[in-house]
Structure 1
């Protein structure tokens, strides 16, 4: 697939300088290969890349020319694969395995609640009930995904980037980010190391080759049961060839596509446009 992700900010007046980070560069890993990638900035600026603490590729840049708008365009060609070797519900690490001190120490950061994944008393009780009903962590994790998808309606525009899992739960609606935050929170509450994954999803499983479709930034989850396994709770499917991974972390705050600070008048809004083309 070819993915073009255009994002940026409009300002109420001239900005004298800005300092920015873009996380739009897909990862090279087992189920996907990045054949080509570039990130372009307007106004023009020198960029440099590095991997952050969580292993996400960051394109950093400063703009010191006066500007009233900032645009970042990331274009990549990525080869993806189907889900492949899936774990059966009764397989994977046991509850005892996950409770061992060496396992807890290894994944400690991914067992703790973060601001957007913290649970309330009701959700903690639900997590305990789901855990008690399943013999293996992996079966419980799949049950959490099914539960969240059944209880929370996907509704674009119902929340913002600052929303947390409890907010989405109380209103029973949200976007993929909220559904993933809620799923990750429940998994951690049960004692499963869990990660929030940011990337892209091709919206059509039957897309014609060469057709460009308006796609979307997307979020899903991973949990560790002896190895990492990925699932898309918003759509109720394993992560496969329609998904493109960009970054992973504890929550959205670790992997925002574009963030920065600037000197000047307030921002009047952020524009986001994602176009995805199936190449073969």
Structure 2
């Protein structure tokens, strides 16, 4: 089964006065790979800007732009049409590598960047111990799911409980957070076990029974992928495998590698931020 979706993602900043100049990077163009195909995509910027597009180290398409005319508002709108395909692998320990194979020098060298802790995914002793306890003697695939079940049992999903700069450890200590936090805590646990894993940003269509042509309010979403012989996508927030309703935009070590929009500017402080995501099922 496949889904074809149109995703419209609008981010707007307003400022207390006129910004003299700004330099920005937008990571808002969905990926094309074995699980999805981006059929069309455009990024529109207001006020008009000089644009340069490239793929970063992690394979994400970046729209870099700078504005040198005075402006009191910045609006970036990405509109994409993406076709997704059902992931072929059902989660099963029978299909995964064992701990001995994951622990070889070859694997640890090849996936060193996906095994290294970052400031957002550095666990404390309690979280590392929970990972070991949850994993028990299970194979890596089952251990990864068990870690997620432990997180979901202990943490509450709560909007506004954390901020964009919150680390996984901070969210864990508060026992609450949003999808970004659930992903960071999961990565911290898996890396503490020696399982290569990465952060994925994108979108999730919230309605599995959506009618063709129906537009619904969506949000940016985050999940993880781990490697146990092949990459497996898993949504820690919802406790399920990544499937047709997920649209991947970027992959990295954590949120800092995939932030949808970031930059620097010269001028007064920002006085407002508005984000609107609309998702329409087309087929």
The interval holding the TM-score normalised by the smaller chain is: over 0.9
Give the corresponding residue for 1:126: 130
1:63 aligns with 67
- Cross-structure match for 1:79: 83
Q: Which runs of 5+ in 1 are unaligned?
A: none
- Number of residue pairs matched by the alignment: 279
For residues 163-174 of structure 1, the aligned pairs below 5 Å read 163-174=166-177
Question: 1:225 Cα shift?
Answer: 0.1
Look up the SS of the partner of 1:240 in the other structure.
Answer: coil
1:172 Cα deviation after fit: 1.2
Q: Secondary structure at the match of 1:90?
A: helix
Alignment-derived partner of residue 141 in structure 1 = 144
Normalization by structure 2: what TM-score?
A: 0.96
TM-score, with structure 1 as normaliser? 0.97
Which consecutive aligned stretches of 4+ in structure 1 deviate over 6 angstroms post-superposition?
none
- Structure 2 matches for 1:198-217, cutoff 5 A? 198-217=201-220
Listed as ranges, the gaps of 5+ residues in structure 2 are: none
Please give the secondary structure, in 1, of the residue aligned with 2:238: coil
Q: CA deviation at 1:10?
A: 1.1
Q: Which one of the candidate residues 168, 177, 198 is aligned to 2:180?
A: 177
Could you say which residue in structure 2 is the equivalent of 1:34? 38
Q: Provide the secondary structure at the position in 1 that maps to 2:141.
A: helix
> What is the correspondence of 1:1-280 to structure 2 with a 5 Å cutoff?
1-131=5-135, 133-280=136-283
Instruction: Report SS of the residue matched to 1:207.
Output: coil
Aligned mates of 1:74, 1:164 — CA distance in 2:
27
Equivalent pair of 2:91/2:241 in contact (CA under 8 Å): no
* CA RMSD between the two structures: 1.0
- Per-residue displacement from partner, 1:109-139 (whole Å, max 9, x unpaired)? 11111111110111111112223x1331111
